Chain A
Amino acid sequence: MSAASPRSDRTDLPHEAHLILLASLDGVGPARLRWLLSLGSPPEVWRAVAAGTLPPPPMGSGITTGLARQWRAQAASMDPVAAWDCCARLGIGVVSLGGAGYPPVLADDRDPPVVLFHLGDPDVLGAPRVAIIGTRRATGYGVRTAQMLGRELAEAGVAVVSGLALGIDAAAHRGATSALPGRGGAGPVAVVGGGLDAPCPVRNRRLADEVVRTGVVLSEVPPGVAAAPWRFPVRNRILAALGEVVVVVESAAAGGSMHTVREALERNRPVLAVPGPVDSLASEGTNQLLSEGAHPCLRTEDVLMALGHSTQSTGGGSSSPSGVVAPPADTGTQRRDARPEPTGDAALVLEALGWRPTSPERLATLSGLAFRPLSAALAELERLGWVTSSGGWVERVARGIPAPRPPDA
């Protein structure tokens, strides 16, 4: 290895160090990184970038001479040793495609990340994996469902894969991390769109720490690179590749979740969708998937069943169906029956409530009750587990699922 600069003259420096630099360049995603690497070994390409001697890029790659100049300027201030030490200091592991420790499931993918950064324990990828995805603008119903699925799947030994975004992603991870302490469930897997040094969005930072503690957070973006909007759709293919089954909890008709679904379908992954109210924008996409033939996900067992099929049909890979512990099948039914039927005013209010979050005032109008009997009825319903109230809204609870705790309570 002849040194390009005196500082990088370190014999123990792995070739990933130069990969980190190449991946850190402005506007470099998987496609451009692949082109760069087709030109030679990472140190060679790096020297070419720094010297401005890159060959003309292929047509349609969008790499302009201006961008190449920008890379050259950027390269002047970057150093492989510093980049490598930075990862080491932050505890971020770096594996490259073809190298030791690279997840086999990604190595077999049609569009694998060339370099992968991980924080936490990458061994959790050995468990069966289910991707739970959905909109950031989730409703209470979606959040509750994602959290329930996350928790129950984790308890059953399934690694919950999601994107650590707001809404459904966060709820799924929150459910998965809540299942772990002392129960021997599987750790969660998060794939984020930005560098691992600054998980995005900031509001999920504590949750991200929790995922690192109990599972692993992955990214193909080097630390220090901000999560540009174009990186999220690119990231979605990794979610689809990692999930042996993909569950969409809530999604608008168009959006990032539907993009992940397309990626999953291209990889022949079973896609399950959680049905929702037909007049809810947040369930438009999932209901559409159902009408197009996706399997409905009504309970955790549906996901486990789909997982069993998929692990059998793809011949196992690193996961084994026997590792999946199905929860007792009658849990759901027992819960449903456990709630005593409301009577009197409470029954009246429950009937008026329907399946949408409703304000107490609207309930008063619909049920015709005065304030005092209404509040008594609401308290009664909440005591019996039929409704939850949060932020001035009353919401019906399905199947006696315990309400999620507010994240910051």
Chain B
Amino acid sequence: MLAHVPSATLLGVEGHPVTVEVHVSNGLPCFTVVGQPDASCREARDRVRAALLSSGLRWPDRRITVNLAPTGLRKAGSGLDLAIALALLEADKQVPKGSLVGLGPLGELGLDGSLRGVSGVLPLVDVMDAAVPLVPVDNLAEALLVRSDSRAVRTLREVYEAIKGLAPWPRVDPRAELSAEIGDEPDLSEVHGHVVARMALEVAAAGGHHLLMAGPPGAGKTMLAERLPGLLPDLDERCAMDVSRVHSAAATLRAEQGLMRRPPFRSPHHTASLVALVGGGSSVLRPGEVSLASGGVLFLDELGEFPAAHLDALRQPLEAGVMRVARANSNVTLPARFLLVAATNPCPCGVGRWGDCRCSPSQLARYDRRLSSPLLDRFDIRIEVDPPDANTAFARCHAGESSAIVRHRVTAARLRASVRGVTSNRELRGDALERHAALRPEARELLRERLESGALTMRGAQRVRALALTLQDLDEVDGPLALSSVEQALVLRSPGDASRPGR
């Protein structure tokens, strides 16, 4: 007897429809799974068998063949357990033929017949070729984000009884109400002083400019970086869906809060492996930190401590906005459009102040070499962050604007940028930059001087123009770039790449 049930499997962050075919025939009792299952998928046999028996159902002592079609696609994980079990029931005539039509089962079986949640339900349910996705209770909120007709079940027995008409389909409410509260984002109003750094954050948020902060330990670099997502506007519908998919695939989505409307913040440690950073993995292709930060902020603390290979791997996503992971048997493209914020100590000893640094020249050269990769070129904004002095730390009057106020300006500035046909000013290059960021004569003169003195490179001058444009957007000023905008941009982009004076 043959039965087939639609389900889906995950590759990277994309769902792919899969048809589970089960054939039960006479012969020596055996159970084979074909169609490129990975190890955990092949183990389905033992889980399905125990679950059937625990649920008071029969395990046919016959020749059982499970085929996962299309065969060319590698199937990973335990999400196909329920589909295999149901198809087996139909093939073994324990449920009437045709009773499974329209159902798209998804979920991992426990040995006691209970259903466990799996990762990536959002993209899986999205592509499933069935009228009613059937998901474990844990995944209901996530499934409802894309398919409002999703049905949640707790155990295999429940499904069996509902199909047989012995009991109604169970009614399960999603865990919590859908809400997109900002709630736990740290607020900019808690930052005292940091006049330049605050402006840098605002400009980074408004223009999508990558930001590099150098400063001694305790200067507040991490504290500032954490506040950047709070300045970014809410994600639009498409972006929210893309971001939610990635987080669903990585099992980091908090589905009870609905689609991810707020930009994510990821701060991988410098000891993270290359695969953890950019995505990949031998059996399951998982999205890396660059993809999890997509739509939001990727914060690399201690940039100089990251291995050179890791930093090199960041160049593709920075350039293309996607991460392509190629493996022998699969090739996936993961979204990776993030705002890069990096922090670094000025030197290995961390002091970096004029004359107080105790690092040897060779140590400094090594440190500089690490950072002087082409990656450093991508940071439009490079600032020095100082620890605030005692007066500022306790001064009430310095308590600055809240994130909400700044976010309002940022949103308006982004709107101006979108009129130019780009999502942020960072993406303006060449002709487009020439056209949108024309210079007033005084401003042109200033840039010419800096170019002539060698303080700025041609590329640097281009980035300064993009920054100045963002600054004008924030001030809601139109027209050619004014001298003052270029002056401000020059403060935000310190020329040269050394964060120590005189070297």
Contacts and interface: CB of A to CB of B under 8 A. Distances in A.
Contacts of A47: none
A30 interface: no
Contacts of B455: 389-390, 406, 409
B386 A362 contact: yes
Given A361-B386, A362-B386, A372 B488 contact: yes
A365 B501 contact: no
Interface stretch (A51-59, A181-189, A302-310, A352-360): A352-360
A375 B488 contact: yes
A136 B382 contact: no
A125 B455 CA distance: 35
Contact of B386 (A167, A356, A365, A374): A365
Nearest to A202: B365
B361 A167 contact: yes
Interface stretch (B160-168, B180-188, B491-499): B491-499
Which interface residue of A167, A369, A392, A393 has the most chain B CB atoms within 10 A? A392
B99 interface: no
A107 interface: no
Interface in B281-329: none
Contact of B354 (A356, A364, A374): A356
Contact of A357 (B365, B496, B502): B502
Contact of B355 (A283, A362, A371, A376): A283
Given A138-B502, A279-B355, A361 B453 contact: no
B194 interface: yes
B211 interface: no
Interface in B349-363: 353-357, 360-361
B225 to A, nearest CB: 15
Interface stretch (B12-20, B125-133, B195-203): B195-203
B355 A136 contact: no
A370 B361 contact: no
Given A359-B384, A365-B193, A392-B383, A374 B497 contact: no
Contacts of B353: 356
A311 interface: no
B174 to A, nearest CB: 46
Interface in A238-280: 277, 279-280
A391 interface: yes
Interface in A1-47: none
Contacts of A142: 502
B491 A403 contact: no
Given A361-B195, A406-B454, A393 B501 contact: yes
Contacts, number: 132
B353 to A, nearest CB: 8
A139 interface: yes
Interface in A130-154: 136-144
* Contact size range, B: 35 or more
B361 A393 contact: no
Given A137-B361, A379-B446, A405-B454, A280 B355 contact: yes
Interface of B is mostly: loop
A375 B490 contact: yes
Contacts of B498: 390-391
Which interface residue of A138, A139, A361 has the most chain B CB atoms within 10 A? A361
Contacts of B195: 361, 364-365, 369-371, 374
Contacts of B214: 392
Contact of B487 (A137, A369, A379): A379
A370 B503 CA distance: 29
B365 A365 contact: no
B496 A364 contact: no
Contacts of A282: 355
B502 A392 contact: no
Contact of A392 (B199, B354, B360, B494): B494
A3 B307 CA distance: 57
B370 interface: no
A361 B496 contact: no
A339 B195 CA distance: 29
A392 B355 contact: no
Nearest to B397: A368
A143 B502 contact: yes
B496 A390 contact: yes
21 contacts: A142-B502, A277-B355, A282-B355, A283-B355, A360-B196, A361-B193, A362-B386, A365-B386, A365-B392, A371-B488, A374-B195, A378-B487, A379-B487, A379-B490, A390-B455, A390-B498, A392-B382, A392-B499, A393-B500, A406-B496, A409-B455
Interface of A: 136-144, 166-167, 203, 277, 279-283, 356-357, 359-362, 364-365, 369-372, 374-376, 378-379, 389-393, 395, 403, 405-406, 409
Q: Report, nearest first, the 4 A-B pairs whose CB atoms are least far apart.
A: A140-B502, A409-B454, A392-B494, A359-B384
Given A279-B355, A365-B195, 7 more contacts: A137-B360, A167-B361, A203-B365, A365-B193, A390-B502, A391-B498, A391-B501
